Amino acid sequence: MGLSYLEICGGRPLDGELEIQGSKNAVLPVLAACVPGEGVCTIENCPDITDVTDTLNILRALGYRAERAGGTVRIEASGSEKYEICGPEAVRIRSSVLFLGALLGKMKKARLPLPGGCVIGARPVDLHLRALRTLGAEFSLTEKITAVAPRLHGDTVRLPYPSVGATENVILAAATAEGHTVIEGAAREPEIDELCAFLCLRGADIRRLADGSIHIRGVRRLGPASYRMRPDRIVAGTYLLAAAAAGGRVFLRGCGGEGLEALERALRAMGAVWRKTDGGLEVCAEERPRAVPYLETAPHPGFPTDLQSQLMAALCRARGSSRIRETVFENRFRVVSELRKMGARIEVNGDCARIEGVSRLRPAVLEAADLRGGAGLAIAALQAPGRSAVLHTEYLARGYEDIGRDLCLLGAQARIRGIRCTDETKEKEEYSELQRCL
Ligand code: EPZ
């Protein structure tokens, strides 16, 4: 038992710089893409986050050697014929569903539990199954997904919605299927292009045309490859929004802002200065941002849903009234009740949230309920003079290597703290103590 929390002493502007970790939402499909084929795959700049740890354990359970040495992960294919995923990891993370396409590509069969992930919506997998059926897969659904595809073949897949995961699953299956596959209505997130780049290094034949469609000519074998992950654009966006929220200056070394064009427009509208240099990306901001009259999240190149909670937190002290519409997930306003504890004035009506900017936020003990919501609460805490705590850092650890370390590098007073508790009662006592002493 234990109580872990991110303690932040807020109320002061940021001033610092750091190098952004490798991309979580790119490395997870890239690790699944190590399943088909032979040889050793080396992934550099692999973020040390729990979703990656869980994925490496899934690979090990499938018979692969998976070793980490610092930021580099080495995956060695094996002669393993395993095609079933049983461990707890698969239920914990959403990206375990990507092993469906990877195992169909290699074994022409797969069995795995329905995936987990942050509770930001129902997150069904119907689009994945419908798309893979087009390539010849057949499914039986109980509490597990069982798939067989004796003759996995290329075909034209039309996605009615640009699902990131469904696009990735089709790529993972089609890379070694017989014949040509076209994905129409494919998701355009940059993480998908990283997956394609990695698979092409392994010998796959994949191209994205100007109309966004993805064309895959199945190949018989995939070989070894070495690949360096690009910076995580959502982690970068989180810290850029932190600068807009708390004021000050943030410099992200080696980051070019690729895939953050919608965020750049929003930050400029909020009054921040966005400056790309050859060494990286700098954002400077005054103490309070301007409000954003209206913004909606959307599939790429729209504003990323994964930055919506962080933007909401940054707008809590904006000058004026802002409105955010969340169009991708149906339950991604869970931070609102926590932000209200700090004095934020937010009204939610369906998929829209209206934020009336206030001049000051109060420090508080806050409870994270999902990964990006936790990051949003950290941004809110940076603005509140005094000590705040963001509980349940296990959510943050899913996508941020060490957010306490990063915020300190950016000039904040932040650290991850933990209290070991022997039982539930002790945990409640510690929590009440935390409430009192903050
Ligand atoms: C990926 O999730 C990301 N996760 C998410 O990031 C991100 O928010 C999301 O894409 C959208 O950009 C990873 O890459 C590991 P979707 P994914 O399929 O693939 C519905 C984070 O914080 N849908 O594009 O699950 C779905 O319910 C995480 O890093 C279906 O209805 O996203 C959602 O409403 C959170 N049926 C919408 O589509 C399906 O079969 C977008 O989902 C699949 C999806």
Count CB atoms within 10 A of the CB of residue 260: 24
Q: Does 124 sit in the ligand 1 pocket, CB within 6 Å?
A: yes
Strands (E) across 133-245 are located at 138-141, 144-148, 156-158, 180-184, 205-208, 214-217, 225-228
Closest residue to atom 6 of ligand 1, CA basis: 306
Q: Is 32 helix (H, G, I), strand (E, B) or coil?
A: helix
Rg, the chain, Cα only: 22
Strand-pair category, 225-228 with 40-44: parallel
Calpha distance 55→89 (Å, rounded): 7
- Beta carbons of 170 and 194 less than 8 angstroms apart: no
Question: For 24-228, CATH number?
Answer: 3.65.10.10
Helices 98-107 & 126-134 angle (0-180, nearest 10)? 20
304 CA → ligand 1 middle, Å = 11
Q: Does 371 sit in the ligand 1 pocket, CB within 6 Å?
A: yes
- Testing ligand 1's pocket by substitution, the residue of 24, 25, 133 carrying the most ligand atoms inside 8 A of its CB is 25
- Angle (CA) 84-90-91 rounded to 5° is 125
Closest residue to atom 20 of ligand 1, CA basis: 123
Q: Does 305 sit in the ligand 1 pocket, CB within 6 Å?
A: yes
Q: Which residue from 122, 125, 152 is spatially nearest to 137, judged by alpha carbons?
A: 152
386-391: strand order across its sheet: 365-367, 386-391, 2-10, 413-420
Helices 371-383 & 233-246 angle (0-180, nearest 10)? 20
Cis bond upstream, residue 301 (ω within 30): yes
- Testing ligand 1's pocket by substitution, the residue of 52, 114, 119, 161 carrying the most ligand atoms inside 8 A of its CB is 161
Please provide the distance, in angstroms rounded to a whole number, between the alpha carbons at the two ends of the chain. 22
162 CA → ligand 1 middle, Å = 9
Domain with CATH 3.65.10.10 in the chain: 2-21+231-437, 24-228
Closest residue to atom 8 of ligand 1, CA basis: 306
Calpha distance 309→241 (Å, rounded): 10
Q: What is the pTM for the complete model shown?
A: 0.96
Give me the architecture of the 2-21+231-437 domain, per CATH.
Alpha-beta prism (3.65)
Q: What is the pLDDT along the chain (438 residues), one digit of tens a residue?
A: 567 899 999 999 999 999 999 999 999 999 999 999 999 999 999 999 999 999 999 999 999 999 999 999 999 987 888 999 988 888 888 889 999 999 999 999 999 998 777 677 877 899 999 999 999 999 998 889 999 999 999 999 999 999 999 999 999 999 999 999 999 999 999 999 999 999 999 999 999 999 999 999 999 999 999 999 999 999 999 999 999 999 999 999 999 999 999 999 999 999 999 999 989 999 999 989 999 999 999 999 999 999 999 999 999 999 999 999 999 999 899 999 999 999 999 999 999 999 999 999 999 999 999 999 999 999 999 999 999 999 999 999 999 999 999 999 999 999 998 866 666 676 677 677 777 766
Active site residue 437: no
Q: Does 6 sit in the ligand 1 pocket, CB within 6 Å?
A: no
Record the tokens describing residue 423, joined without a space. 């039982």
Calpha distance 35→188 (Å, rounded): 23
* Per annotation, catalytic residue among 118, 255, 284, 316: 118
Count CB atoms within 10 A of the CB of residue 397: 20
